[in-house]
Structure 1
Amino acid sequence: MAPAASGERLLQPGSDRAGGRAHLVVIDGATHIDLYDKDEYVTPAVAKLTEFFGKHLAG
């Protein structure tokens, strides 16, 4: 997860190595630091991470 301004640029190298399983999530209004401890940004981020990990790590 990354701020919208830099997210796509940061995602591309990792996405290539991940075989297309990477997914960019933009949390409107959030900065990278906001994702540490501001509930209005952390809650939707955790929901997306839970969904992603459940889909890709579930055995």
Structure 2
Amino acid sequence: MNFHPFNDLDLIAPRPLLFIAGDQAHSREFSEEAYRLGTGPKELFWVPGAGHVDLYDRTGLIPFDKLTDFFRAQL
């Protein structure tokens, strides 16, 4: 309950960051805040129609092409 992941976001800077979230996620604001706080190369990708947990195991929604493109460009 005392873990605040955004407090240490600067420790991974300036590493490339890719945030992938469902546009219907109730946690959407956290993705937006993490993106705002991130430095260096960053991208926020919204998956249309996906909720908070849909990207865990609904493989048809997981944007594998986006992951591949990002890693190829940034790693």
TM-score (norm 2): 0.57
Question: Which residue matches 1:49?
Answer: 67
Number of residues of Structure 1 aligned to a counterpart in Structure 2? 51
Select the structure that is richer in helix: 1
- Between the two proteins, what is the percent identity of the paired residues? 35
Structure label with greater radius of gyration: 2
TM-score (norm 1): 0.68
Question: Which residue matches 2:35?
Answer: 11
Q: Which of the residues 54, 58, 69 maps onto 1:38?
A: 58
Amino acid across the alignment from 1:13: L
Look up the SS of the partner of 2:72 in the other structure.
helix
Structure 2 stretches lacking a partner, 5+ long: 1-19
Alpha-carbon RMSD across the aligned residues, in angstroms, is: 1.6
Quickly say closer, same or farther: Cα 1:41–1:47, change in 2 above 3 A. same
Structure 1 stretches lacking a partner, 5+ long: none
Select the structure that is richer in strand: 2
Distance 1:53 1:22 in 2: 12
Q: Which runs of 4+ in 1 moved over 2 A?
A: 3-10
Distance 1:10 1:32 in 2: 15
